[in-house]
Structure 1
Amino acid sequence: MERTCQIFDLTDRPNPLIREAIKRRLGEIENMPNIVRYKLNNPAERVLKGSYGVLMRLIVERGTHCRQPILMASLHTPYDDNQFNFTKVQPEERLMDLRLKDIEVAIIANVSPYTKFHCLIIPGLHDRQPQVLTLNAIMFSIRFLKSLDSYEHKIGYNSSGGSGSVNHLHLHLIHLEYEIFAQRAELTKIRSGIYCFNQEYEIKAFCFLLRRLSDDEHESEVAEKVYKLVRYMIDNGIPHNLFFTLAKHKEERVMRIIVYPRDKMCALKSTTDLNIAFCELSGFLPLSNEKHFTQLTEAELLEAIKDQQCDAFDRLLVKVKDSAFYPHTRPRLSTVANMRDDY
């Protein structure tokens, strides 16, 4: 896949040029033959009745026009160059390259989108890494979302066994104008900077808060905390999904990095059945099955989520509360004055 791409360096400041370039390039390839598999032309939507306010979107073409998922029976499924991977996409699909220090990332169009501006984030495209999340990928995702500077852009990740469908390290950039459940869910504090969804919710998740959005050192500290939990799940065979989004916390603008642990392996993602991945866990259901779109209830969705998560969260909560796992660190003197009591 050879093509000269526009290159942007990510800094600690919002960069509207990146948003504009993504929008422009996606508009260009939509009009090219044999690139995008279908267009999102005002798909039907409805909000699922219930307390979570789940947004449902019907995209029938995703059931017939998307690539066939790859079987991934383990979090440690090795990369296989003979299978589909993102080095094999057409050159036109590569929208741009982004750099964060020594981290190089390709931004590729999702040719089977479920939101407008749906892109794939491929760290180290030609490094041919399996779908195992890295610290660099987490750090990049945080900075990329800060650069986009929009509540409407979100980043998600599905591990192998967590409804991931391509065994080549990638994350999703999606765009939703609707404020979904994961952005507004009430939180309970576990320890400094680490929260979880309130107990009454049947969707279980850890939530890491990035509160000082202009503080590079704080950004690195949060990324390392997230990665420590992710690495533990990888090492112990626990499938997982992540979701990065800007949100409000006590009237403060923050970034939520949400980690959904799972108990069951989803080795092969279905293209027509109800899949539980980062979107569904976060309150957005892109569906290809019209029956699900018209008849699914909130209780049925929650039951499907509970079936995947089981008690994985409760088992990890013990680890997260353990001071040996997350040792208490004294805050830097330069930031003490800016920290609120509930931090």
Structure 2
Amino acid sequence: MASDSKDAEEIETYNYTEAEFIPHVTPWEEDGSKSEVSKFDKAIFERWDCAMANGVFRYNIDHIITRIIPGSKQYVAQLNTLRATERRKPQVITSVYQPFNPKSFNFTWVKSKEVIFNIRKVHSPPANNVCNGDAVIETSINGTSSQEKEEVRHCLVVNVSPMEYGHCLLLPEIDMMRPQVLTQKALEVAIETMLLSKHRGFRLGFNSLCAFASVNHLHFHAYYLDYELIVDHCPVEHLGGKYFEFTALPCPGFALQLHGSTVKQLAREAFKLSSYFHKADIAHNVYINRGLVFGEKRGSGLTTVRLFIWPRKKYIGTKSSDEFNVACIELGGHLPIKEEEGYYKFTEEDVDAIVDAANLRREEYERIKREVIRMGLESATHDDDDDGDTRHS
């Protein structure tokens, strides 16, 4: 994190325990009831609003408008022309294996005023903390608390070119300067971050290199969307073990859930998939959201954390689409659109055609699917819970 005298401000740490995890949220209702929020959500909102008031962002979000595209998929389209024109120019990505480059922009360059807080899992509240609202907050200087000096730091910063309200970047193990390649620890941090929120529209997304990642430094997008998406309720087909297939959108992929599992198990299985994709030079996108337990019907109150991962066609270079880029958010059914014409004229068929362009060749996808089935069945025969985590059901 930038540490010159101008930015040497106090950075807070949000300390949490497993007791704060929220395994179920209020399902989406037709009566328009508002999403509930947790103390974690309130802590983010307070600091995000403060950053907006202090001019940290490149633009405000008052101009964003939303349209539900008619059709069975109910794509949520949002017109955000300023994100297309004002955001930092994406890095040129040429390989899934592209190494981290400390001379290119990375998130250790982020200014202190852009930091929401560090997040840290503790087994009991630290002795020297202050109560800020409902959140247990510990103050530190330049991002390192006295109790955290020997620990790896996970950080939440605002996205200065926001896509929606609360748009942040979750940066697991930020100081280790990892390239944009998932680790099991990063997935654990992401899932636990999801569990700290009570908002049913809180969402996390990851784009691998060559799958529209903009910065080659390990990060997830995190944001709030007050609209239901198809990934929140879509049916899936069981493949084997804990692996399922998602075919509700033109670009098929794979799905996992927290229900009946633990955070470590879910992270481990998701990491197996992402690691397989990375080693096989396959670009991929990940989306984590709240939704129905697999197999439950619309209207059911049984919710869980869903995790989707899509192998997809590689994209080489920088972002250039005139409409929208097919990345993790778009594969979830949320479409940040760059220009007015497309926003107003898009039909479901138009969107389907753009999403379909991310598809691998059918024979390649089927080959990957066979390997995923094998991995799932193999995992099922060695499924032992030696993690000591609480199983979520």
- If the length of structure 1 is used for normalisation, what is the TM-score? 0.90
Give the total of aligned pairs: 331
Any conservation in 2 of the 1:14–1:148 contact (CA below 8 Å)?
A: no
The corresponding residue for 2:254 is 206
Q: Pairwise mapping of residues 34-73 of structure 1 onto structure 2 (< 5 A)? A: 35-41=56-62, 43-73=64-94
SS of equivalent residue, structure 1 residue 241:
strand
The corresponding residue for 2:104 is 83
Aligned equivalents of 1:201 and 1:208: distance in 2? 16
The corresponding residue for 2:45 is 23
CA 1:318–1:332 in structure 2 vs 1: closer, same or farther (change >3 Å)? closer
Q: Pairwise mapping of residues 1-343 of structure 1 onto structure 2 (< 5 A)? A: 1-2=2-3, 3-14=9-20, 16-33=38-55, 35-41=56-62, 43-100=64-121, 103-198=152-247, 201-212=249-260, 218-249=262-293, 250=296, 251=300, 252-270=302-320, 272-310=322-360, 311=362, 312-322=364-374, 326-329=378-381
Any conservation in 2 of the 1:238–1:261 contact (CA below 8 Å)?
A: yes
Aligned equivalents of 1:191 and 1:121: distance in 2? 31
Q: How much is the aligned-residue C-alpha RMSD, in angstroms? A: 2.4
Aligned equivalents of 2:229 and 2:316: distance in 1? 24
Q: Percent identity?
A: 24
Aligned equivalents of 1:287 and 1:277: distance in 2? 12
- Superposed CA deviations along residues 7-54 of structure 1, whole A, max 9, x for unmatched, are 123322336332111111111111113x20111115221111222100
Aligned equivalents of 2:77 and 2:365: distance in 1? 25
CA 1:14–1:150 in structure 2 vs 1: closer, same or farther (change >3 Å)? farther
226-235 or 142-151, which deviates more: 142-151
- Superposed CA deviations along residues 165-192 of structure 1, whole A, max 9, x for unmatched, are 1111110101011110111111111123
SS of equivalent residue, structure 1 residue 36:
coil
Q: CA deviation at 1:271?
A: 7.0
CA 1:221–1:47 in structure 2 vs 1: closer, same or farther (change >3 Å)? same
Aligned equivalents of 1:164 and 1:85: distance in 2? 12
- Superposed CA deviations along residues 186-219 of structure 1, whole A, max 9, x for unmatched, are 1111123221124x6423121101104xx6xx22
> What code does the residue aligned with 1:4 have?
E
105-114 or 314-323, which deviates more: 314-323
- Superposed CA deviations along residues 115-173 of structure 1, whole A, max 9, x for unmatched, are 10000011122221111111111011111101113211010001110011111111010
Q: CA deviation at 1:304?
A: 2.0
121-130 or 221-230, which deviates more: 121-130
CA 1:323–1:268 in structure 2 vs 1: closer, same or farther (change >3 Å)? closer
Aligned equivalents of 2:110 and 2:375: distance in 1? 45
Aligned equivalents of 1:298 and 1:180: distance in 2? 14
> What code does the residue aligned with 2:373 have?
K
Any conservation in 2 of the 1:22–1:95 contact (CA below 8 Å)?
A: yes
CA 1:297–1:24 in structure 2 vs 1: closer, same or farther (change >3 Å)? same
> What code does the residue aligned with 1:259 have?
I
Unaligned 5+ runs, structure 1: none
CA 1:333–1:134 in structure 2 vs 1: closer, same or farther (change >3 Å)? closer
Aligned equivalents of 1:139 and 1:179: distance in 2? 24
> What code does the residue aligned with 2:347 have?
T
- Superposed CA deviations along residues 94-130 of structure 1, whole A, max 9, x for unmatched, are 1100123655211000111111000001112222111
287-296 or 266-275, which deviates more: 266-275
SS of equivalent residue, structure 1 residue 222:
helix
CA 1:169–1:194 in structure 2 vs 1: closer, same or farther (change >3 Å)? same
Any conservation in 1 of the 2:63–2:80 contact (CA below 8 Å)?
A: no
121-130 or 225-234, which deviates more: 121-130
Aligned equivalents of 2:376 and 2:193: distance in 1? 31
SS of equivalent residue, structure 2 residue 10:
coil
